[in-house]
Chain A
Amino acid sequence: MKQENKQTISGRDFEKYFQVKNLKKALEIKAKYEDQILLIAGATDVLVENYEKLHEIKNWLDLSRVKELKFLEVKEDKLILGPLMTHYELKNSQRLKQKLPLLAKAAAAVGSPQIRAKGTIGGNICTSSPAGDTLSALLALDASFKLQSKIDSRLVKAEDFFLAPKRNGLKDNELLTQIEIPLYPEESLSFWAKIGRRKALVISTLNLALVLYFEQGLIKRAGVAVGSAAPTPIRLREVEELMLGKSLAELNYRELGEEVKKRVSPIDDIRGTKEYRENVVRDTMVNALKSIEKRREGGKNAD
């Protein structure tokens, strides 16, 4: 064990590690401790953030055994997900791959096999990193998050949830308890790409999600979102609107790429420069449209 983590063990140490088995209990504890308790599920972000200072954490709420928060169901016109679904489970879910391949693809790009086996989609959402891989997919798919407290619950749209780097709209007494994604009847094609320095274990330099829903050859709905290109992952409604009511042939891909570029506000950091990200987000949008065009012509649904 790291020397820094060595502490004498006493019976009291565990009074404040709550490994709850049901949601009701979790909500009660959250109501009592509010922001004075650290939430863990897969723990893959929390243990990295607190490396060598785990002993400084006073109160823990471990949600990993709350079985009622782990599910994937199709209910009429939406797909609902429990926040404890791991990236591994999402990536391998036949139902998800069939209904929302965009999200399955994003989940498959998270971290490494080891991280995907432990990390959860709820954790990805609540950590709220601007680079969170599943977040651009959730935004483009028009997801909503159910935020629940001991007394009530509310549904917040993904695009209203992320407020600043690693900041979100969860109140101190709330937990994320469900993710809802609408399933539209129209035929859809999607694209998700992650730009990074290597394929595995890389934090996105940029990621982009695009989904188009077609009705009689025209784009009826669209979802465009990017990650790592602004203080939060962002959905680009204005770019979506430019595509509505048109066929793919009527779109000017390069101009749409420029429209995406105009609306991002990346920074220079160790993963890439602002200029690089601006140019790559434009080109990735062009590639996304080309990829969808190619699959539409080929009659293939698979991404």
Chain B
Amino acid sequence: MNNNELKQFLSRFCEATGCEIHEKTDSHMTVKLSEEADRQLTGRPYYWMFVDRTGEAAQTMTMRWQYGEQLEGAQSGATSAGTGFGFRLPQMACDYGGEGLERIFRVCKERGRFVRLFEHGDLPLAGGRSRSLQTWACFQLKIEFICDLKKELLLSLGVNLQTGKMLDDFHKRMLVRDLRPQLPPRIFLPPDVVSLDHAWQKAVRVAHEFVAAHDDRWAVRANERMTAELEASEHYFSQLLMDEGKHDTQVLDEQRMQERQHIEEQRQNRAAEIRRQFAPLVRISLLNGGLFHLNPASNISNAV
């Protein structure tokens, strides 16, 4: 995301969470947080506990989100001039990869997990009976390829709960539609033929197939690295134990036992460390998903 995209993103975030934007420039915006956003972004649980217990009217925070280049020296001047307050506004740096933006992203992910939406607009009469919509379940899957390196990709799969048909790139297809949380008037929702559970299992299966078809050289190489490291470590520690063994021709006294135990521990720890670092793993998780009730006439299968 460049600065402009970030600015757009944050504006939309404010709109979705009911925050008021007081000032917006190419480098920062001043935002009066909504209660919901304040609870999640400002990290002041005690304040909110106080408000909840006493029923006091809540004062949400006004803060400044910085996303663009900050001009030297301009900061304090702009802050007090822009708001009319005498004091400095709390700042939150919205760097890509930084903590502030990370927090906003987290709120989006937590508060944007499951939706249920209906397509509005002109609906055809289905064979003279009432109008009907078709139900699709969408699964946004994240696939992570993990070793000592990492790669990720997103898979957006839609499963038609009436027919079982599956479509990929489903999310993109949804973006161009008029979708709202309210049920349109005089609408018939046919019962699901495929259960949500079933659809999920199908999506997971497809993800597995996708992974299986994926180039696996990364994993082969990671295994090679792991084996080499394990061998070197194993060789080293067994040598160490052997040398340790040479000394005690007669007795194993307390201290020597401890030393051996120490080496043995280190050997196991090191092996665990190596596995943790290199062992190739593919992890599939669900980012978010939804039920989309779509107009069967609008051609959803069209290539995106």
Does B bind A?
no
Chain B interface (Cβ < 8 Å from any Cβ of A): none
Chain A interface (Cβ < 8 Å from any Cβ of B): none
